[in-house]
Structure 1
Amino acid sequence: MVDPMFKQVGENAMWAIMTVVVMFEFYAGATLGKGINRGIGTLIGGGLGCLAAVLGADIGGIGKPIIIASSLFLFGAAATYCRLVPKIKKRYDYGLMIFILTFNLVAVSGVRAEKVLELGRDRLATIGMGFAVCIFVSLLICPIWARCLDEYFKMCNEKENQGADGSAYIQACKFVLNSKSNDESLANHAKWEPWHGKFGLYYPWGKYLEVGEHLREIAATILSLKGCLQSPKQPPPMQRQTLKEPCENFMLSIQWILKELGEGIGKMEQCQTKGLINPKLQSMKLQLTPRFSSNCRMEVLETDENLAITTFNFLLLEIVEKVEKLAQKVEELGEAANFHLKKIDV
């Protein structure tokens, strides 16, 4: 059954298999991006390599190695320096690498120009077969789309199921702090995805990365708050007991706000930030106004108990400020991505 194919492409059939092995990725966008990069890099690199080989063969003599060596240096250096540009490296690094590899292989192959063109045609045909197989499987057979912040929503559900296990929250914060590279990779893969569902070709994935940055700031502040609570310089138990109820109310309010923002992003719904979330945050700010005004004496603050309470109060205010900025970024994301309005019940 495969004999007709072998007669058409011969030994170059292995390039189709190699293309599938190299190109196929877990996410549909990653597969498509890698395939487009590989195809463009192969075409441009092969075309310029053939041109250099043909030009060197026409000149002949000592001019042939000079032309080939010069072209290798110029194109290789240009492509290598392009890979150092952050925006290009993020999306086209693989294509530039394939361009350098293909150009070098074709330019220094030493095969006659006619043979190079025939070989390039056959290999491009087989690479196209492998590319078609990968795209067909990735986009049409249970596609897996790259989505930023999916892990955050998953963590939220896990935390609810785990109840009052404090270590789960700490592990979640550490996960968020270490999620920057994963978020950027997912956003890059998502930018390559074709139009599907509510996601257009110019969907604002950068806004998701901004939301992730603010989530990491909140996670860092929460870990700082944990360190403050574990400090040996703490107020007496009776004084801490009076702070228990206000702190519990504070955390329940913050939890409700973060849950609403997370569900809004997950369901692509616009939260009523200005109408419901911001007033609640402003009320929390008033409740957390520092106990010591600017005209207080410094010696009052210098006791260990008062310093601990002031630091704790300051960190709570920092969390409120950062959650307010996060809500603003989520609102901007909803407007840029055209999320539909959601009515929040308090």
Structure 2
Amino acid sequence: MGSTVIPIPDGDQGFADLKEKRKFQVSLSPIVSFVQKNKDSIKKIIHCIKVGTALVLVSLVYFVDRLYKEIGDDNAMWAIMTVVVIFEFHAGATLGKGFYRGIGTVLGGGLGCIAAILGEQVGGIGNPFIVGVSLFIFGGAATYARLIPNIKKRYDYGVMIFILTFNLVSVSGIREENVMEIARERLVMIVMGFAICICTSLFFFPTWASDEIHNSMVSKFEDLASSIEGCVEEYFRLVGDKENQSVHPIASFRNCVSVLNSKAKDESLVNFAKWEPWHGKFGLFHPWEKYQKIGEVLRELAATILSLKGSLNSSKEPLQALRVSIKEPCEAAGSSLAWTLRELGESIKKMRRCQSEPFIVPRLKLARQGLSQVMSPFKLGKLDTAEGLAIACFVFSLMELAEKLEGLAKEVEELGELAGFNRS
């Protein structure tokens, strides 16, 4: 039989290689830590680089002599203006503003050309009269439309571009003869600037609003769960720990306040996400409206948790025995509420369907039943003091949280069905 010789590396050499590898990993750890802690700052720097790149590309209209002579100074400026006004931080925002700018430019330019041609046909003193009347009618009507809340919320930028383009084109027609040619060249420059913005925004480290709203929603579940746990734990601390509690409080309401103030940001991110193309785990028709509804329920939960702050600030010395008697069911309820929030957040994070009826709703109902038994008629008779009312308020707030969580579980379940989440 033949024999196989297996080379064995020198022990010192292998140890040296392992040591070198560990040294390399250790040297990279500060860089990885820095990137994780400064993700937002790095994204902002990348966005600034992309905007600068887009401005350089669109300025080639000025650098290339042949193209500059054909387009002209006045028309070339429109490409640069387009990049400056529509390039946004999120890719969806850039697409949305670009679309509205295009619609506003086409409508405003078309109507402006009609007004200019009509005034030119009338001629004489009738030319500025026709243009002036057109400016008054269309400008006033568009301005009134901007004051309508629904239009202002979603289409304000497009209406503003319509007013600007209509005025520029119609007024230019009074002095210029080839109005249609000017409008065509400016439209080409706007399309060029829009194309450069889209390519730079989508193909070079894109910042997706869909990822941000998704991750933000998941973090809110964890924040509220931690706040509930902190509230319950702090509420049932011993009286002797009250001094330490004032120095090192467990319950933190900062996250709840952040959730309450997130409505405007969530609405903006959802609107931007609707414009984004298919990418990663999000399809073209992802139900972003559901994220808004879930966000509303989370804000209601945050407001209820903040109402517990008054109970935490109340004196613990009176009715201490009653507080001890309700400790176990309240802690069990708080644990169930926190578990439910984390379970719902995990289902959204991993994009798996949440089955609320067989798993979550029964647990919440059990928690509510335990809390309702705590508030028996015998114990309610003792709640005729300020401390007693604070205890009742605390228990009823926990019951209200459980009720709201049942509705939240159904909303998350509907999100999974509409978005086609995987079954767990």
TM-score, normalized by length of structure 1?
Answer: 0.89
- Per-residue CA deviation, residues 130-160 of structure 1 (Å, 9 max, x unaligned), is 1111100111222221133532434666899
Q: Is the 8 A contact 2:329 2:374 kept in 1?
A: no
How does 1:280-295 map onto structure 2 within 5 Å? 280-289=363-372, 291-292=374-375
Give the corresponding residue for 1:333. Answer: 415
Q: Offset at 1:92?
A: 1.9
The 3-state SS of whatever aligns with 2:359 is helix
The 3-state SS of whatever aligns with 1:247 is helix
Number of residue equivalences: 341
Correspondent of 1:218 among 292, 297, 301 = 301
Amino acid at match of 1:317: M
The 3-state SS of whatever aligns with 1:270 is coil
Amino acid at match of 2:395: N
Amino acid at match of 2:418: A
Amino acid at match of 1:191: K
**Which of these two proteins has the greater Rg computed from alpha carbons?**
2
The 3-state SS of whatever aligns with 1:138 is helix
How does 1:133-212 map onto structure 2 within 5 Å? 133-147=196-210, 148-154=213-219, 169-212=252-295
Q: Is the 8 A contact 1:234 1:308 kept in 2?
A: no
Change beyond 3 A, Cα 1:41–1:275: same
Q: Does 1:312 align with 2:312?
A: no
Correspondent of 1:3 among 65, 69, 76 = 65
Give the corresponding residue for 2:14. Answer: none
Amino acid at match of 1:3: D
CA distance in 2 between counterparts of 1:134 and 1:87 reads: 27
Amino acid at match of 2:215: D
Farther-moved stretch of structure 1 (206-215 vs 63-72)? 63-72
Q: Does 1:251 align with 2:334?
A: yes
Give the corresponding residue for 2:47. Answer: none
The percentage of counterpart residues that share the same residue type is: 56
Q: Does 1:66 align with 2:129?
A: yes
CA distance in 2 between counterparts of 1:322 and 1:160 reads: 14
Change beyond 3 A, Cα 1:29–1:86: same
- Per-residue CA deviation, residues 32-51 of structure 1 (Å, 9 max, x unaligned), is 00001111111110111111
The 3-state SS of whatever aligns with 2:182 is helix
Amino acid at match of 1:170: F
Q: Does 1:116 align with 2:175?
A: no
The 3-state SS of whatever aligns with 1:274 is helix
- Per-residue CA deviation, residues 150-198 of structure 1 (Å, 9 max, x unaligned), is 3243466689999978577411100000001111111111111123344
Amino acid at match of 1:316: L
- Per-residue CA deviation, residues 74-118 of structure 1 (Å, 9 max, x unaligned), is 212332233334443333221111001110111123545543222
TM-score, normalized by length of structure 2?
Answer: 0.73
Change beyond 3 A, Cα 1:87–1:192: farther
Q: Is the 8 A contact 1:28 1:138 kept in 2?
A: yes
The 3-state SS of whatever aligns with 2:278 is coil
Q: Offset at 1:251?
A: 2.2
How does 1:3-22 map onto structure 2 within 5 Å? 3-11=65-73, 12-22=75-85
Change beyond 3 A, Cα 1:128–1:318: same
CA distance in 2 between counterparts of 1:270 and 1:85 reads: 39
CA distance in 2 between counterparts of 1:17 and 1:81 reads: 29
CA distance in 2 between counterparts of 1:167 and 1:143 reads: 39
How does 1:69-80 map onto structure 2 within 5 Å? 69-80=132-143
Give the corresponding residue for 1:29. Answer: 92
5+ residue gaps, structure 2: 1-62, 231-247
Q: Is the 8 A contact 2:332 2:367 kept in 1?
A: no
Give the corresponding residue for 1:104. Answer: 167
